[in-house]
Amino acid sequence: NAGVTQTPKFQVLKTGQSMTLQCAQDMNHNSMYWYRQDPGMGLRLIYYSASEGTTDKGEVPNGYNVSRLNKREFSLRLESAAPSQTSVYFCASSGGLAINEQYFGPGTRLTVT
């Protein structure tokens, strides 16, 4: 059981470039989430998917898009990266009997120059 996996681990982009962060979970969870973590700000929800085929905005969705590819995979896309999107991005999933408990991946450190 790998839990929640994320790729890549690190990425450096120039302003205006695009990229997709990948997330996969093997726990058969229905819900998946994307957060960003910035110093002093804690974890802030970008987008979430309550079930396969649905996505909803979180607290800070501007500049991002998501795709729930199937039950296992949830990707986050930056269409035109900005320095303000420099952050650590975490994917999480929840479901099953412990429906509210979220399990996190190891994170992607993104720097936009």
Partner 1 sequence: QKEVEQDPGPLSVPEGAIVSLNCTYSNSAFQYFMWYRQYSRKGPELLMYTYSSGNKEDGRFTAQVDKSSKYISLFIRDSQPSDSATYLCAGGYNKLIFGAGTRLAVHP
Round to whole Å and give the CA distance between 59 and 13: 24
Q: Is 95 in the site for partner 1 (CB under 8 A)?
A: no
**Omega within 30 of 0 (cis) for the link into 8:** yes
Question: Looking only at residues 3 through 62 of this chain, which bind partner 1 when binding is defined by CB under 8 A?
Answer: 4, 40-45, 48, 58
d(CA 69, CA 88): 22
Shortest Å distance, C-beta 88 to partner 1: 9
Which of 90, 93, 110, 112 is in the footprint of partner 1 by CB under 8 A? 90
The residue from 70, 82, 101, 113 that contacts partner 1 (CB under 8 A) is: 101
Q: Is 84 helix (H, G, I), strand (E, B) or coil?
A: helix
Q: 39: which 2 tokens? A: 């110093």
Residue ranges that bind partner 1, judged by CB under 8 A? 4, 40-45, 48, 58, 90, 98, 100-107
